[in-house]
């Protein structure tokens, strides 16, 4: 499937900040099942954009602006060709042993209720267990963009019973790690098969490490494994490690941010 992504982030400040620094994890890498045809980051102000790599192998760009500005628009555009790999991510950059992904973080720490969830879905076969877990999470949670924010932990979201894709992923990761299955957070984009192109945010899901198979993507918010609809951008221990933008600014106030994502299919192609 050939997917075209356009991800626009616009900041408006009532009092312009003196300077601003951001780390962008917005650039995907090619691996089996995903091939980047073209990709670029565009910024509408004069800025420094320095490319490097974080410890997990994600491509990062450090954006610095050293002058006051009232608005800032970041546009990320690209074309990606994807294939179905039955959910398995092969040939990706792996900088660490999978066991590193058993590590707990504040956002993905298991609450007693999540431990119960993990215990209730134990299966002899890890892959079955992960599927079961995904179904259980999706069964209880309702998708609601207003009940949680970026600071909501897995435990809080599970107790609320509602949240966004990122909360679903945190709960999945926390529960998988309870059963000693290495799991990690993945951010990216999702092409919706129902034809809705414009979205207000990127997407997030989880990956679990299964012996003999490797990393397998589970998307609890959609209740599916990794499909050709997913574009995988960054991964990490939790949201904070894989967030598209993290930043700080000096002075300034009244920041408002709007995000516009469009994920559509480019001209149809025949696969032979």
Partner 1 sequence: MLARSAENLFWVARYIERADFSARMIDAALRLATLPKAYGGDGNEWVSPLAAVGNLDLFRKVHDKQDQNTVFNFLAFDRENPSSIRNCIANARRAARAVRTALTLEMWESINAAWLELSRIESERDPKNPMSREEVDRFLDFVKAISRDFDGAAYRTMLRDDAYWFNRIGLYAERADNTARILDVKYHLLLPQSEEIGGTLDYFQWTAILRSVSALTAYHWVYRESVKPWLVMDLLVQRSEMPRSLVSCYENIARYLDLIGQHYGQQGPSQRLARSVHATLVNSSREEIFQRGLHEFVTDFISSNNRLSGMLAEQYFPS
Interface residue list for partner 1 (CB under 8 A):
29-32, 35, 37, 81, 83, 91-93, 95, 267, 269-272
Please list the residues that pair with 60 across neighbouring strands: 52
Rg (CA), the chain: 19
Minimum CB separation from partner 1 for residue 255, in Å?
Answer: 37
Query: Nearer Cβ to partner 1, position 33 or 87?
Result: 33
- On whether the CB atoms of residues 224 and 81 are closer than 8 A, the answer is no
- Report the side by side order of strands in the sheet with 34-43: 34-43, 71-82, 2-12, 256-265, 198-199
Helix 112-120 crosses helix 165-178 at what angle (to 10 degrees)? Answer: 70
Nearest alpha carbon to residue 228 among 220, 217, 237, 241: 217
Q: What burial class does residue 218 get, using C-beta atoms within 10 Å of its C-beta: 0-12 exposed, 13-18 middle, 19+ buried?
A: buried
Query: Nearer Cβ to partner 1, position 200 or 271?
Result: 271
Minimum CB separation from partner 1 for residue 156, in Å?
Answer: 36
Query: Nearer Cβ to partner 1, position 117 or 227?
Result: 227
Which residues, in sequence order, are CB contacts of 158 under 8 Å at separation 6+? Answer: 111, 113, 114, 117, 140, 141, 171
Query: Nearer Cβ to partner 1, position 69 or 80?
Result: 80
Q: Measure the CA–CA gap between 204 and 173, rounded to whole angstroms.
A: 12
Minimum CB separation from partner 1 for residue 134, in Å?
Answer: 27
Query: Nearer Cβ to partner 1, position 77 or 116?
Result: 77
Minimum CB separation from partner 1 for residue 236, in Å?
Answer: 17
Query: Nearer Cβ to partner 1, position 56 or 239?
Result: 56
Query: Nearer Cβ to partner 1, position 34 or 148?
Result: 34
**Angle value at C-alpha 215, between 211 and 216, nearest 5 degrees:** 100
Minimum CB separation from partner 1 for residue 173, in Å?
Answer: 23
Q: Which residue has the tokens 């009092």?
A: 15
What is the helix (H) or strand (E) element at residue 117, kind and residue range? helix 112-120
Minimum CB separation from partner 1 for residue 53, in Å?
Answer: 12
Helix 126-140 crosses helix 165-178 at what angle (to 10 degrees)? Answer: 140
Minimum CB separation from partner 1 for residue 7, in Å?
Answer: 22
Q: Measure the CA–CA gap between 151 and 149, rounded to whole angstroms.
A: 5
């Amino acid at each position: 499937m050939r997917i075209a992504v356009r991800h626009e982030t616009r900041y408006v400040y009532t009092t312009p900040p003196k300077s601003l620094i951001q780390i962008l994890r917005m650039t995907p890498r090619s691996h089996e099942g995903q091939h980047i045809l073209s990709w670029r980051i565009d910024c509408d102000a004069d800025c420094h954009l320095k490319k490097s790599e974080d410890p997990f192998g994600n491509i990062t760009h450090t954006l610095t602006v050293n002058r006051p500005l009232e608005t800032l628009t970041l546009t990320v555009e690209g074309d990606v060709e994807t294939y179905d790999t039955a959910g398995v991510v092969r040939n990706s950059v792996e900088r660490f042993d999978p066991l590193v992904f058993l590590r707990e973080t504040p956002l993905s720490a298991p609450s007693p209720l999540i431990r119960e969830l993990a215990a209730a879905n134990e299966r002899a076969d890890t892959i079955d267990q992960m599927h079961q877990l995904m179904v259980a999470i999706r069964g209880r949670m309702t998708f609601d963009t207003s009940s949680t924010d970026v600071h909501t932990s897995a435990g809080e979201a599970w107790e609320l019973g509602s949240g966004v894709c990122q909360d679903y992923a945190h709960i999945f990761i926390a529960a998988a790690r309870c059963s000693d299955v290495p799991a990690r957070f993945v951010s990216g984009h999702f092409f919706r098969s129902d034809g809705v192109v414009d979205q207000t945010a990127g997407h997030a899901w989880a990956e679990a490490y299964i012996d003999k198979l490797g990393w397998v993507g589970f998307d609890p918010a959609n209740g599916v494994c990794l499909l050709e609809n997913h574009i995988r951008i960054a991964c990490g221990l939790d949201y904070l490690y894989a967030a598209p933008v993290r930043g700080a600014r000096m002075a300034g106030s009244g920041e408002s941010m709007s995000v516009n994502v469009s994920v559509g299919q480019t001209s149809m192609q025949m696969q032979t």
